Structure 1
Amino acid sequence: MERGTRGELISRLAEAIGTVRAAHPLRVAIDGPPACGKTTLADELGDFLRARDSRVIRAGIDDFLFPRAQRYRRGQYSAEGCYFDAHDRAALCRVLLDPLGPGGDRRFQHAVYDRDTDTPSSPPTATAPADAVLLFDGVFLLRPELIDRWDLRIFVSVPFEQTVDRARARDAALTGSATDTTAIERSWRNRYIPSQQLYFATARPTDHADIIVYNDQLQRPAWDIRPHGDGCQGEEARANRP
């Protein structure tokens, strides 16, 4: 495991991406619990790669949610609902991951859902260059239904208690003032943390990650980059770890 500056982390991740060879756009999963910093990390990595003339596609799991009525059908604070009902994984594969994968035509859509209006979304279809890099951030990306759709798998690790603190701080930053954090606390305690515990128990995501980023110290992160033979590389290799 290495520890260094934020810039060193981004540089090492870009270097790792550059070592993966594929005859199709590279599909990179950036997984981790809510408020662990995965979206920020994906954005930073995207900026770094673009500055070096890489063609980057940015997308995230929030654009592949089911409508609220479906994802909360077991209740607003249901952990099982969060894990099983929240995300349209079939659409994610159909419109984005499979078109960019082996044998795909590279014609993709980056979203199927508009969270602001809670309605389906159908953005124009685009064609990805063969050497493009998809940086896709979200929760539960290394579950069995998706595990073979990624060419590189990054897991952002933060203690669950720290994600609660970050969620409170994020909410205060969005509203511009201190707010009642009761709803955030309840969501994390009853829905998000238990759903992550369910995910770890059933899918063991860190066993299948090629790279683990320990993001507890934002400016001094640590990381563990496993040799390609150790991790899972999309359809082209499978994990044999117990």
Structure 2
Amino acid sequence: MLYPPTPRNELVDALATEIAHNYGRGRPLVGIDGALGARAFADDLAASFRASGHAVVRASLDDFLLPRESRQQRGADSPEGYYFDRYDYASFLRVLVQPFRMGGSTGFVTASFDESRDAPVESRWVTAPADAILIVDGPFLQRPELRGVANFVAFLEAPLALLDGQLGAAHELYAAAVAPRVAADAIISVTDEEHPVRVFADRC
């Protein structure tokens, strides 16, 4: 349980309890899909799991980028470039998701690229206990390349007005292509990041 018992911590604890009840064994992957506050929310969720005695591995999609030349091939401010060309999904799956799911003593990597240096990072292979939970944050976690990868996805919903122009436009592309609000297992409104609210939507 997270302290103090703020509305944010209570929501995070409830979400952790729900996920642990349904996916507490067998190396589940939990995705925190969002452009606003996803890393902090994923960190809080990891802390809640750890407080309950679960082993947790944290990773961020922003540590699995393509080189700047590839990311900006459509222009530095292109929404299409941000959506289609920013992330190295192949490496993300190959060095993190697939070996993590294998379990046992198989090593995996939680980061492959440093955006500030525009260069790959030295691979640090780590292992985890059999029932560890992998929590990944980042935008676009429900796009086709990653469909079915996560056992549970929480979509952090924020008004586009809170995002910068490029990122907001990229999320419009994402919403039109994937409908992440419909596909997610949980929808969390983060219009006020300190007071997130779970939203229950009709999937019909």
- Using the size of structure 2 for normalisation, the TM-score is 0.89
Letter in structure 2 aligned against 1:198 = L
Letter in 1 for 2:13: S
Q: CA 1:219–1:114 in 2, change beyond 3 Å: closer, same or farther?
A: closer
Residue 104 of structure 1 and its aligned partner are, at CA, apart by 5.6
Distance 1:204-1:22 versus aligned 2 partners, 3 A rule: same
Q: Does the 8 Å CA contact 2:113/2:119 hold for their aligned counterparts?
A: yes
Equivalent position of 1:43 in the other structure: 43
Residue in structure 2 matching 1:197, options 163, 172, 180: 172
Shift of 1:112: 1.0
Listed one character per residue, the Cα deviations across residues 53-106 of structure 1 (whole Å, up to 9, x for unaligned) are: 2111111011100111110011011111111111000111111112223x5664
Deviation (angstroms), 1:52: 2.1
Give the aligned partner of residue 10 of structure 2.
8
Question: Is 1:19 aligned with 2:60?
Answer: no
2:96 paired with 1:96: yes
Offset at residue 7 of structure 1 (A): 1.7
Displacement after TM superposition at 1:219 (Å): 2.9
* Distance (whole Å) between structure 1 residues aligned to residue 23 and residue 57 of structure 2: 17
| Contact persistence 1:31–1:38 (CA under 8 A) | yes
Q: Which amino acid aligns with 2:80?
A: E
Question: Structure 1 residues 100, 225: closer, same or farther in 2, change over 3 A?
Answer: farther
Q: CA RMSD in A?
A: 2.0
- What SS class does the counterpart of residue 107 from structure 1 fall into? coil
* C-alpha separation in 2, matches of 1:115 and 1:80: 19
Following superposition, the deviation at residue 147 of structure 1 comes to: 1.7
Shift, 1:144, TM fit? 1.2
Match of 1:159 in 2: 159
Whether 1:126 aligns to 2:101 is no
CA contact (8 A) 2:27 2:103 kept: no
Equivalent residue for 1:67?
67
> Deviation digits for residues 122-179 of structure 1, max 9, x if unmatched?
322112212111110001100111021101101001111123xxxxxxxxxxxxxxxx
> Which residue of the partner structure matches residue 30 of structure 1?
32
Matched, 1:206 2:184: no
What stretches of structure 1 of length at least 5 have no aligned partner? 164-187, 231-240
SS at match of 1:192: helix
- Counterpart amino acid of residue 86 in structure 2: A
Q: Which residue of 2 aligns with 1:215?
A: 190
Consecutive unaligned residues of structure 2, counting only runs of 5 or more, are 1-5
- Structure 2 distance, partners of 1:225, 1:160, is 20
- Could you tell me how far apart the structure 2 residues matched to 1:10 and 1:83 are? 28
How many residue pairs match? The answer is 198
Residue pair 1:74, 1:81 contacting (<8 A) in 2 also: yes
- Alignment-mate amino acid for residue 132 of structure 2: A
What SS does the corresponding residue of 1:116 show, helix, strand or coil? Answer: coil
Identity %: 37
Partner AA of 2:181 in structure 1: T
| Bigger mean CA deviation after superposition, 204-213 or 216-225 | 216-225
Residues 155 and 213 of structure 1 are in contact (CA less than 8 Å); yes or no, is this contact kept in structure 2?
yes
Cα offset, 1:13, TM superposition: 1.1
Q: What secondary structure does 2:83 align onto?
A: helix
